[in-house]
């Protein structure tokens, strides 16, 4: 005897997967992104973290090209450097702890995607690399950011639940 509930669920997942592959990142991403300029001093970066409460911020240069990211982990390592485990005391950690600008402390070469890729690709990327958000770039310039809550909200809509 077949379980009708499981069959319906399988059909629902298949249908969602097709819809997810048709939906593009640009249709879901946040376009008005709070950024940090690579020349911002530490005090200004701390102010941004305090004011906006995001976990990660893209770092851009004068041409609005994505050059790195700064996340809460980086900031905690700087602010609590004396509490950093001895194994993490490296030359790079010392440079970061003494950094004067975003360029000095950022994580360079962040994972990014194009805005015309399917939404499912962004979800796959986040799951594969255990990331909460991905910067969206076109021709090297930051055009948006997509995060797990954006994807979950869209998944909810695509399933006809929202």
Tell me the CATH number at 79: 3.10.580.10
Q: Which domain holds residue 114?
A: 4-158
pLDDT at 142 over 80: yes
How many domains does the chain contain in total?
1
* pLDDT mean over 142-146: 97
Q: What local confidence, expressed as pLDDT, does residue 157 receive?
A: 81
Task: Tell me the whole-structure pTM to 2 decimals.
Answer: 0.78
Coil, strand or helix at 90: coil
Pairing label, strands 107-108, 66-71 = antiparallel
Give Cβ neighbours of residue 78 (< 8 Å, ≥ 6 apart): 42, 96, 97, 99, 105
């Amino acid at each position: 005897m077949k379980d009708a509930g499981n069959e319906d669920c399988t059909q629902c997942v298949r249908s969602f997967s097709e819809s997810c592959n048709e939906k593009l990142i640009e249709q879901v991403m946040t376009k008005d992104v709070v950024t940090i300029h690579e020349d911002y001093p530490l005090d200004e970066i701390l102010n941004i973290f305090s004011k906006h409460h995001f976990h990660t911020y893209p770092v851009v240069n004068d041409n609005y090209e994505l050059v790195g990211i700064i996340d809460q982990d980086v900031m905690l390592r700087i602010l609590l450097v004396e509490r950093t485990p001895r194994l993490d005391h490296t030359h790079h950690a010392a440079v970061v702890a003494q950094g004067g600008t975003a360029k000095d402390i950022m994580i360079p070469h962040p994972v990014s995607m194009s805005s015309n890729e399917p939404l499912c690709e962004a979800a796959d990327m986040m799951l594969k690399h255990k990331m909460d958000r991905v910067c969206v770039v076109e021709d090297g310039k930051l055009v948006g950011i997509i995060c797990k809550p954006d994807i979950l909200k869209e998944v909810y809509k695509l399933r006809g639940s929202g």
